Structure 1
């Protein structure tokens, strides 16, 4: 099992805060933004997506994978938390985005400049949906379990008319 999170020990300097992430729940028709409990020290942040994901009795541990999106001149990093078990329910919220059959919940959080998780902004929800669709199209989830590399995706603008209306693929 690949896990890239850095554990922070409970000490007097650590605070527990909620950082916004995007939850693709198996039982709900659409993805939604949720607060993910995160332990923060002055130098590290340790997200706890286990409290947001269902199926903890069936599979108590969580896999993660990092993804990078190049959007023009900007680069955005995300971390994707997911479970993989054959008895988890099929995700209905991911059926609305892609045709991939995924079992269980998925949480995606945005990474800041120093690799620390930060709050999702309003525009990041659309980027998170883009990352999830490309993440599931890149390879089946079983292949993501064995990799520790960062997946890179490029978001290309497509001009519709001569006006400055830009739409993305």
Structure 2
């Protein structure tokens, strides 16, 4: 029911001529031609609603992978967070949209992000219960850990001579 209300609201706003609302509605509803048109007009790809939501979040929430790809190609912030700290990746995880999760991870989405309530992407994935998404996130989180550098031991490199050779005399 929440989504029906959302779609009705975004459609009404888009019809009112607000370009940011048109962007949001087109992204959430997967209307690629309209989305391309609005983006071509120069509308900020990361324009936000009053709750901090972006078009990429809307597309991710509804599983519109083509919208996600297009928004990312226009430079949408893959790690933007709304007023509650929810990111596009979290939206896709909760919705169970595996292909969207793949696209967002490939674009650099943070698999270790947490919302303002302290729930991580992985927490949300566990709650949603999609094993494929859990595996993708676990792999992404593991590969995003910084590599450990081996410790340097003293004497590994030759020290510079302390007494340089004298210059030849003329």
Relative to its length, the structure with more helix (as a share) is: 2
Which structure has the larger Rg over C-alpha atoms?
A: 2
Please classify the TM superposition score into its range, dividing by the shorter chain length: under 0.3
Larger relative contact order (Cα-Cα within 8 Å, sequence gap ≥ 6): 1
- Identify the structure with the greater strand proportion: 1
Normalising by structure 2, what TM-score?
Answer: 0.26
